[in-house]
Structure 1
Amino acid sequence: MAYSPSIIVESSPKLGLPTEQSIMDEAKASNTKQFAIQAEVSPSILQKIVAEFLGTYILIFAGCGAALVNKVQPFGIVGIAIVWGLALMAAIYSLGHVSGAHFNPAVTIALAATGKFSWKNVPTYVLSQLLGGILASLTLKVLFHDQEDIHATMTQYSDSISDLEAITWEFIITFILMLTICGAGTDHRGSKDLAGVAIGVTLLFNVTVAGPITGASMNPARSLGPAVASGVYKNIWVFMVAPILGAMAAAMVYSALRVPKPEKSADCTKSIYNDLYVQTVP
């Protein structure tokens, strides 16, 4: 009988399709790596402070500058309000990803009071905002030296309005502004792409309504800057206290409307640093 050699074919490893669990594990590992990279490139505290200084400077330079231009070429309270709103929108979209776009000591304090910002960084944020407001006002005083004074930039109210009425006005409009910030800028359910528009528009109609009555401060830095530049501090305490109280009240009220943020799903790739106004500095 002839011998026929047998050919032994070794079985190759089984090429199985990836399981659902393996896909999820790989996606989670990828997301973890991505978040780690994002954490590494997060702006430093110095960069955030500089961004807050610049944003506040831009806001107050443009808004108060519009009030001074209005004395030369009148365009009314609506025109001034539009400038305020557009300036805030521009600052949010250009610097919000760096510092969170507070540009307002009342906003910073309110976010810290509700656990959305680190208390240890409140002093540096507030100081940079106040300095930005003061420098912007001094710049305007130099540039508009042909005008006798810059009282048009100040937030004041007439003798016919009591301190309590002024506090109420500032409390309400700051409450509305902060509520918009919380809903559009800090809630994960909000549309972050339109947050700057919503917040800018809110500032616009607040200035339109309350501007002729109290100057529509809503921001201690906005009131302190012109006061330092002009040397007039009448009723300054109203514009320092009322906005902070209004912002804190709005932040606390919105805390009751907020729902817990769900855990990120496997296919979620959104940056944890995308939220405007929620920049909890390590």
Structure 2
Amino acid sequence: MAVPLSRALVAEGLGTFALVFFGPGAAVVQAQTGALGHLGVAAVFGLTVTAVIAALAPISGAHINPAATFALTLAGKFPRARVLPYVAAQLLGAVLAAFVLLALFGLKGGLGVTVPAGSVAQAFVLELVLTFFLLLVALRSGLPWVVGGVVALGAAMGGPITGASMNPARSFGPALASGLWTAHWLYWAAPLLGAVLAVAANHVLSPTEPVEPRPHLAQEFQPEGEPT
């Protein structure tokens, strides 16, 4: 039986809330205390994504990212009628989490807002590449720890340069709460373009002949009742 849209939207909102609360929240704590370190912040992002996928993928697919929803739609694995509601739930969850962080910490660390540390062109290409590999892995592997590991990897490598967003909702929430919109457009354009390229690469890599199913692999982005 298909999961009702209302339940899926609650799961998407909660999952994206968790991502922004713990991820940018870790950056805020690092700015205030220096206790986590850069790699610690990256690890928090990865662990959060791992936990959210493991807990919520059976309900909504645990996209928690408009770029992921876009990629799945392009790949024909997600119904178009649910795209806008999913994105709205993701943005709402991100905004609520960012305002909770604002209430707790003020503008410490800019609420983990994503802004380029170098040129806009450099940031665009880096966000594009990071999102490409994140979504390619997500499309080809359903293991929560694998996807979470790629998020941590991207945050460790790209965080000092772009904030390693790879997710328009993750960037939108802190930007709205902090009022810092520097080059915000690229945190939408680069991930969405990365999604297009990831879907194209996945299509090229997919076998032309059917392969035997591997039921031991959990399928990320595959809510209950959705066709595989």
TM-score (norm 1): 0.74
C-alpha deviation, 1:88, in angstroms: 0.5
Q: 2:199 aligns with which of 243, 251, 257?
A: 251
Aligned residues: 223
Q: What is the one-letter code of the residue matched to 1:65?
A: G
Partner of 2:221: 277
Change (3 A) 1:157 1:262: closer
Contact 1:49 1:128 in 2 (8 A): yes
Q: Distance in 2 between matches of 1:121 and 1:153?
A: 29
C-alpha deviation, 1:73, in angstroms: 2.1
The CA deviation string for residues 92-150 of structure 1, in whole angstroms up to 9 with x for no partner, is 111011011100000000110111111111000111001111111001000113xx545
Instruction: Give the % identical residues.
Output: 39
Q: Distance in 2 between matches of 1:152 and 1:98?
A: 29
Contact 2:32 2:109 in 1 (8 A): no
Q: CA RMSD in A?
A: 2.0
The CA deviation string for residues 20-77 of structure 1, in whole angstroms up to 9 with x for no partner, is xxxxxxxxxxxxxxxxxxx3xx321111111011001001100011011102221211
Secondary structure of the structure 2 residue equivalent to 1:277: coil
Contact 2:128 2:191 in 1 (8 A): yes
Using CA pairs below 8 Å that are at least 6 residues apart, which structure has the higher relative contact order?
2
Q: Distance in 2 between matches of 1:130 and 1:263?
A: 37
1:71 aligns with 2:19: no
Partner of 1:28: none
Secondary structure of the structure 1 residue equivalent to 2:141: helix
Q: What is the one-letter code of the residue matched to 1:276?
A: E
The CA deviation string for residues 213-267 of structure 1, in whole angstroms up to 9 with x for no partner, is 0100000001000010011211110001101111221122111212355587xxx
Change (3 A) 1:263 1:198: closer
Q: 1:157 aligns with which of 101, 116, 119?
A: 116
Change (3 A) 1:262 1:157: closer
Contact 1:118 1:281 in 2 (8 A): no
Quick check: which one's helix share is greater?
Answer: 2
TM-score (norm 2): 0.91
Structure 1: segments with no counterpart, 5+ residues: 1-38, 186-194
Q: Distance in 2 between matches of 1:171 and 1:83?
A: 22
* Higher Rg of the two aligned structures: 1
Contact 1:149 1:230 in 2 (8 A): no
Contact 2:31 2:109 in 1 (8 A): no
